[in-house]
Every structure is written in structure tokens, then in C-alpha cells.
Amino acid sequence: MKNTSSFLGAKQSTSLSLIIHQIVQISDPEKILLLAASFDYQLTENIFMKNPVQQYRGNRYNLLILSEVQPKNSLSKLELKLMERMLDHRNVQFAVIDIIEFNKEVETGDSYWRYILLNAMLSYDKGQIPLANPYL
């Protein structure tokens, strides 16, 4: 199973919906799962002010991109294409996996992939290939 990840350092804070929209335009994935999101705030209190000052510093997202690709080397090409075209979104970490292989791992009872399927948030669904049922 091809499981690659890419991390691009924090350069620009962009909303998750814009990031997902751009990923869909670039790669036309079957599904995108949100694995983790973190938000950084700085809270400053001052004795002369009633309310503390809250500054938003940025956010980071960890995504699992499930795509249907025929040749196995296409996953690497897809990941490189995403990395090249998403240079402005350095607050995103992602992994690209074939959805058919992901479903096979879930159906065989692999606890790691079942945990991801049961706990990740489905952020985008093309709707052509259903996810495996982890309870079967």
C-alpha cells in the first residue's frame, strides 16, 4: 500500500474549505478525510483592559486523500502534483492513498485503518465509491 505524506511548513493560514476546494480541483479525489486540525491563539491580558486580547496566529490540518488510481506509480505523481500546486498552503499535511486498498485494509480488520475510518471526519465525498463498513 502506498502511504506517503507531505508536510509543508506554516506560511499562510487558509480555511479548510478553500484548501479542500483546491485539492478537489487539482486531483479530483474520491474522498478527503480530516484527521486532525489545530489552531494557534495567543491570549494577552493587560491590567488596564477589561477583556484580554486574543490574537489568531494560524492553523494546521492533517488530511487523508483517498483517490482511485489505476497504475501504482500514479499515487506518487498525484502527491507531487498536489505539492507543486499547493505551495501557498503550507499549513497542510496530507497523505494520498488508493481508496480500493484502503477499503481492503478496513475489510480485513486492520485496526489502524478501522480506527481512522471510525474517527476521521469526512470533509469531501465524490460519492462514486463507498467506504468499507468496519462493522462487517
Topology of domain 4-42+54-125, CATH? Beta Polymerase; domain 2 (3.30.460)
pLDDT in tens, 99-116: 999 999 999 988 999 999
Quote the crossing angle between the two packed helices 74-85 and 16-27, to the nearest 10°. Answer: 130
pLDDT in tens, 8-45: 443 445 788 888 999 999 888 999 999 998 887 776 77
The pLDDT of residue 73 is 67
Whether pTM exceeds 0.85: no
pLDDT in tens, 54-87: 776 678 889 999 998 767 668 888 888 888 888 7
Which amino acid is residue 84, in one-letter code?
E
Cβ pair 76, 97 in contact under 8 A: no
* CB burial of residue 28 (10 Å; 0-12, 13-18, 19+): exposed
Q: State the chain's mean pLDDT as an integer.
A: 81
- Closest to 117 (Cα-Cα) out of 64, 57, 53: 64
Any idea where the domains of the chain sit in the sequence? 4-42+54-125
